[in-house]
Structure 1
């Protein structure tokens, strides 16, 4: 049992630590959203995402055990791979895959199962063997696990809908995309939510 005189110090320390952790994560999320949705020139986007990766690495060096930062390092690396394109992006997605698998092994419910969402997305967007590790069966498995943890989230519904659309399952895809369009706004994620909602509406338009 904690001694009474230590309670205030422990609570204060935990609160300050939590605030610092939240601030670091929020800054990374905001920086990524600006790269992803406010930067349209390819070279500028690559430069922007490289900076966010450096920022995330610095945060991880200070708090190496934080699974949420590992998820975001993977997201940033995946986004950079998408911005770069081509076979040169494969090392980045392999690094992202390794990070996400590590989080799933140790703390799979981190950020409402975001590691499952991100890994599932990689599995259906990356080319299959012998070029990459893409696998539609694994993609669906991961995305369903993400939805089991966060059934109303904008990202798991959007990416599962996008996967179903690419798999030719139009009606099912529209169900999940519409569910994503009705997701509640995420605190501190206004720019990201607005960008994702534009992507959702574009996908729905393509399917109608």
Structure 2
């Protein structure tokens, strides 16, 4: 798979700064909150059989929001998150195109404002790199994943998502002691106002992974 200039800059560690982001309009803020809230409802409250269609519809909403504000790093991040979780709901090789689209959104967000939403683009991009297959099927790369996840943690060391995904990565690498530390940090993360459903769902996932870590250490 050919490497874009943006990918080389981001993943090679040569991106030393980012362009200033454009402030979201009031409508953009409302769109962002709507996308975040609906994503949490779909991901954590909707039956699995209904998620694929619901994420597809939400991806369209995110695309419409981005057309109105194409320079909004926050909306790019969230369209990427929606696309990647839609891919997870879809499954199989048919999901790889969605994953590639998500990667593009995260890379574009980092180019605009790497610190947007506390570095969430790094967290989400890193999670893709350790969860998708490697070459020649896709772009999975554990080394790149860890670089990106650590970058996310440097921007948001106490964040629930940054610590959860790093803990998940470490568990898959059988680095159990490190995974336990990361997951315990995720469970102790401060609450995010307006993100109660997402926080509750993520804590439940972190607790489940922590139980796996503890079982593996016994």
| Residue 59, structure 1, aligned to residue 65, structure 2 | yes
State TM-score, norm by structure 1. Answer: 0.90
Shift of 1:198: 0.4
| Residue 172, structure 1, aligned to residue 146, structure 2 | no
| Residue 23, structure 1, aligned to residue 30, structure 2 | yes
Q: Deviations over 1:123-166 (max 9, x none)?
A: 00000011110000000000000000000000000000100000
How far, CA to CA, are the matches of 2:159 and 2:28 in structure 1?
A: 22
Q: Deviations over 1:151-206 (max 9, x none)?
A: 00000000001000000100000000000000011010000000000001100111
How far, CA to CA, are the matches of 2:174 and 2:48 in structure 1?
A: 31
Q: Segments of 4+ in structure 1 off by > 6 A?
A: none
In the alignment, structure 1 segments of 5+ residues that lack a partner are 1-14
Query: Over aligned residues, Cα RMSD in angstroms?
Result: 1.2
Q: Deviations over 1:15-66 (max 9, x none)?
A: 9x74332211000000100110011232x10111011111111111111111
In the alignment, structure 2 segments of 5+ residues that lack a partner are 1-22
| Residue 204, structure 1, aligned to residue 175, structure 2 | no
Q: Which of 32, 43, 46 matches 2:39? A: 32
Higher gyration radius (CA): 1
| Residue 50, structure 1, aligned to residue 48, structure 2 | no
Contact 2:35 2:58 (8 Å CA) reproduced: yes
How far, CA to CA, are the matches of 2:99 and 2:48 in structure 1?
A: 21
- 1:78-117 superposed matches below 5 A: 78-117=84-123
Which structure carries more helix by proportion? 1
Q: Look up the match of 1:186.
A: 192
State TM-score, norm by structure 2. Answer: 0.86
Q: Which of 156, 171, 195 matches 2:162? A: 156
**Partner of 1:151: helix, strand, or coil?**
coil
How far, CA to CA, are the matches of 1:64 and 1:94 in structure 2?
A: 19
How far, CA to CA, are the matches of 1:58 and 1:205 in structure 2?
A: 40
Equivalent pairs counted in the alignment come to 192
